[in-house]
Structure 1
């Protein structure tokens, strides 16, 4: 709980500091409010005066260059719905204003419209290329040379490349124009005569601008190329011979404004190629009833497609690809065709609303930015006022909350002391547990000592160590007797087998022939000798057993010698069994000797195996076949 309270206090302190800084900054800005508003108003008035004055001077000079004695052009910059609005008029000698489009002739409209296009191309920040279709249509022939001198001078000063389509023969104009002519007829294929070599020599490789426009199967053109120079280019020729087809092809490439009628009759597709910087070619193909119907691509000088960021610049569809607009900057400005004029609409911008005029020409843009700054200033003032109002309330609330937590530090110190005491108590408890464990070990040791003393007193009454020696000897004798008993039992089994063989021999004839092969008899005699020796050993063991007492002495047993007593009792039992087996062995031996005597009596005192004379004792003692009794002895 204390940790949570401390965390809440720290957060409140941080919030209080942040709120205090924000309120102080807002109050500082509010203190400068009037000075900022005054500065922005003065800045806006100065920007309007400079912009309007500059363009009035420029337009008036262009108009009087082409149309000497014409009235000066006047611009009025106002606002409509918070946006800059531009009115274009001419000033009468009496100070009145006349609308350029409605109150003046076509020549004035041609000149002002051409000038407005030049200004729009430059001020809009887009590609500096301008294509004019019959922009001199309403100008008197004797003033057309002046029109093109003004166009050439303006284009050179502003760095704008121009293509002018005209039905006037401008070749003799002293305007420095590059002139190409339409030749042939659409039925047989229109050609273009131009100075391609001089145009190519005017370009450096990386210089921006269009080098040529090639038309392949485009309406009346089977395959024609219009060379272009960096300045003003003019394409002249009679009406209805395909001059405006070049403008239509450019509008198809850059505005996507195209119909299937662009394709030459009998051809499957129309192709427009435009030479650009670096030897590249921008290609546009229109393919009716195909997908895609339009295809834009950019090619290197060797014909390969241009790669940009891993993507190939080749796009199909109905809309102009974004990379075309980005690389060449020819696009609509405020939905108006600034770069490529339409023959049917020679008037540019004069028929538009004042707000659109201002936007296209960027006249009043600086003033518009200043108005944006003023709007931002108003929003900032409102925000600062809200920040001060809400911030002061929040600061009051935070201070009240922090006031309730003033004793938190003392509480933390007390808690720290309690924690130290708790640590000390834990140490004391650990020592107490150690002492209790020691007590338990001492009690257990006392119990073990008492048990040891009781066992010592019980063992004190037992006999001395000599009883252990006696028991050892008795145990050894018992084990010996057990072994003797096992051997006697073995002799009895052997004796029974011998008796069975004697019974078999009893049926033999009295006079048995001497066998030719004595090996079997010899083996049998060896077997009899082993039986005799075993019988003798059994008798010896039996004699030894006779010397043993009938019962083993009963030792005085200690309480912990019960197992030894049980073992001695078991030995006594086995000793009795051994004696019984020894008695059975003696009886069996006597019977064997009697049976052997009968066998020898039946064979005339000869060995039943080898036929040599022998005695029962010699036969049982290990008679050697083929030897006399005295020799065997």
Structure 2
């Protein structure tokens, strides 16, 4: 293999080795990272029980603090509306590992009674209303509640006390309340603004309320709902319910549409809208709620159009509100996020704390004990603990996945790393090969330099031989002083050659003429002249022509006979001078060639000395093939014969 090919092969091997080392490094990094992640996950899983216990104890402690305050508040409210009733007792237990809340009354003998099952409806109304107030306040969201017949089981003589408690709670807690009731308005407190249902569903239900009084009580930017307008919503053709801060009541006969207002609110804020909400014969139902700043929240149910539900928020001039460059108008079946964010009327802990359901006026008491405890989880501190518990559950699942997938991947990585076990040995071998290739390349470069000098020496040797041949030819030439005679002799030779050629031509003509004359002389005299004929005429013509040729030949022979025996000397010697000049140029070229031969012999001696030094440095071995070599054979195109063992 040539040195260049060997160097390229070593370079390719080096690149492949570098890629393998990079791959091995990546696999090792991934393996180490997986090992660390699995170890950390296993460590967290080992502490899982301790963390769960700590969070449960923290939650229990928080719930116990809430229970004490809840019991005090609920008992006070019950005593305010129903004097002489037993105090409220809250007990926190555990069912299937989850907190469970029992809400009852404490008997004088220490026993407990269930509020819903063991007591009358009035107690249920009072406790349910109080629990809803507590949940709304603790949730920290929109401070609005809508109660549908929350006083349905309270005796008429206790209705004023019920609304006094509601008014006082709303004032203290900053709540806005809408109460749907069938009681007589005489039972309402003085701070409650009362509106009345009128008309008939067939012609359109009407609402008569203190619109001017309610409007005057609002500051422009105060939080709260100013009105609820229903257009083509079930029995309402177009009616507006005015709302003021604090407690508002809507009263009227049964089956006139009071609960339609509750259904409208649930459609807007919970997304509970059905086609039955649309007034018969109308294409769509529209619900509008006045909010702070003169804006209007609008909800439209349009059964035969897409989207079927459409929420939008409008400025006082009717244009859409723009927030962060986007119009607040959204269609679909789910309540838009911006509605929840701006108004805060949403489910809390899966509890409908803001808007009561028409068919389930009792809040929380009808739920199972584990779901009742959700009210204790409402609030900032309990929310933090709940979030930590959810995070802990998610982390346990993630850690189990990390351990499962990580161990499987670590095993696979170990298998992938096995082929790289000898990579370090290969790296060392490639390093040695690269070093050896460098040495070979350096030797090859020196050899190429020697070969170049040898080629130059061969060229000079050939030039020397040619110059020697020319020198020998020049030595055989006459001396410079005989150059003029040489030119004269050459000129005379060329002149004599031309004269000879002319004499030969004239001799030929003379011989033919002499033969013809002899023939004519041999003819007899007095030959009879034959009768002229065409053939005789032709012969006469030929004879005349031959006679003329004879006369011309005799004239040329006489002229040649008068020539001198030797050619005269030429007056012009220009060719001789040119030859002399060329001989002088050849003499100068011979001197220059002799000088170059001497220089080449000196270069050859230097090359032979450098070759001997190179062989001495390589231990008498050829730097190209590594075989033994002698100084006399190294320059001959690597065609050197191996040394004899005794010579090596």
Name the TM-score class by shorter chain.
Answer: 0.5 to 0.7
- Cα distance in structure 2, aligned partners of 1:287 and 1:318: 12
Match of 1:237? 252
1:78 matched to 2:89? The reply is: no
On the 8 A contact 2:228/2:289 being kept in 1, the answer is yes
Match of 1:276? 291
Match of 1:628? none
Match of 2:116? 101
Structure 1: runs of 5 or more not aligned: 475-549, 562-633
SS of 2:231 mapped into structure 1? strand
User: How much has 1:138 moved relative to structure 2?
Assistant: 0.6
Cα 1:122/1:460, change in 2 over 3 Å: farther
Match of 1:162? 177
On the 8 A contact 2:297/2:314 being kept in 1, the answer is yes
On the 8 A contact 1:283/1:298 being kept in 2, the answer is yes
Choose the corresponding residue for 2:65, options 27, 30, 50: 50
Deviates more, 1:18-27 or 1:294-303: 18-27
User: How much has 1:23 moved relative to structure 2?
Assistant: 9.5
- Cα distance in structure 2, aligned partners of 1:390 and 1:336: 43
On the 8 A contact 1:89/1:99 being kept in 2, the answer is yes
1:134 matched to 2:140? The reply is: no
1:228 matched to 2:243? The reply is: yes
- Cα distance in structure 1, aligned partners of 2:260 and 2:35: 70
- Cα distance in structure 1, aligned partners of 2:239 and 2:164: 28
Match of 1:601? none
SS of 1:301 mapped into structure 2? coil
Deviates more, 1:304-313 or 1:259-268: 259-268
User: How much has 1:224 moved relative to structure 2?
Assistant: 2.4
Deviates more, 1:350-359 or 1:443-452: 350-359
Cα 1:32/1:200, change in 2 over 3 Å: same
- Cα distance in structure 2, aligned partners of 1:78 and 1:152: 33
- Cα distance in structure 1, aligned partners of 2:238 and 2:400: 66
- Once the two structures are superposed, the pairs formed by residues 70-219 of structure 1 within 5 Å of their partners are 70-124=85-139, 126-170=141-185, 173-174=188-189, 176-186=191-201, 189-219=204-234
User: How much has 1:49 moved relative to structure 2?
Assistant: 1.8
Match of 2:353? 338
- Cα distance in structure 1, aligned partners of 2:300 and 2:397: 52
- Cα distance in structure 2, aligned partners of 1:22 and 1:274: 54
User: How much has 1:265 moved relative to structure 2?
Assistant: 5.3
Cα 1:30/1:67, change in 2 over 3 Å: same
SS of 1:452 mapped into structure 2? helix
Cα 1:452/1:412, change in 2 over 3 Å: same
Deviates more, 1:76-85 or 1:28-37: 28-37
Choose the corresponding residue for 1:445, options 460, 463, 483: 460
On the 8 A contact 2:377/2:386 being kept in 1, the answer is no
SS of 2:240 mapped into structure 1? strand
User: How much has 1:186 moved relative to structure 2?
Assistant: 4.3
On the 8 A contact 2:126/2:162 being kept in 1, the answer is yes
- Cα distance in structure 2, aligned partners of 1:374 and 1:241: 51
1:198-250 alpha-carbon deviations (Å, 9 max, x no partner) = 32333333333211111233344333222212322112234344322322322
Q: TM-score, with normalisation over the residues of structure 2?
A: 0.60
- Cα distance in structure 2, aligned partners of 1:422 and 1:278: 86
On the 8 A contact 2:105/2:113 being kept in 1, the answer is yes
Match of 2:329? 314
1:549-578 alpha-carbon deviations (Å, 9 max, x no partner) = x9x99x9999x99xxxxxxxxxxxxxxxxx
SS of 2:464 mapped into structure 1? helix
1:523-567 alpha-carbon deviations (Å, 9 max, x no partner) = xxxxxxxxxxxxxxxxxxxxxxxxxxx9x99x9999x99xxxxxx
1:64 matched to 2:79? The reply is: yes
Structure 2: runs of 5 or more not aligned: 1-13, 495-566, 580-648
Cα 1:15/1:446, change in 2 over 3 Å: same
On the 8 A contact 2:309/2:332 being kept in 1, the answer is yes
Cα 1:335/1:41, change in 2 over 3 Å: closer
Cα 1:435/1:343, change in 2 over 3 Å: closer
Cα 1:428/1:263, change in 2 over 3 Å: closer
- Cα distance in structure 2, aligned partners of 1:72 and 1:87: 14
Greater radius of gyration (CA): 1
Cα 1:33/1:417, change in 2 over 3 Å: same
Aligned residues: 469
SS of 1:444 mapped into structure 2? helix
On the 8 A contact 1:74/1:90 being kept in 2, the answer is yes
User: How much has 1:136 moved relative to structure 2?
Assistant: 0.6
1:2-50 alpha-carbon deviations (Å, 9 max, x no partner) = 8689779977987898799779978998999998677556534422321
On the 8 A contact 2:159/2:187 being kept in 1, the answer is no
- Cα distance in structure 2, aligned partners of 1:73 and 1:348: 16
Choose the corresponding residue for 1:251, options 266, 270, 281: 266
Deviates more, 1:267-276 or 1:103-112: 267-276
User: How much has 1:193 moved relative to structure 2?
Assistant: 3.0
On the 8 A contact 1:124/1:362 being kept in 2, the answer is no
User: How much has 1:374 moved relative to structure 2?
Assistant: 7.2
- Cα distance in structure 1, aligned partners of 2:54 and 2:308: 57
On the 8 A contact 2:283/2:304 being kept in 1, the answer is no
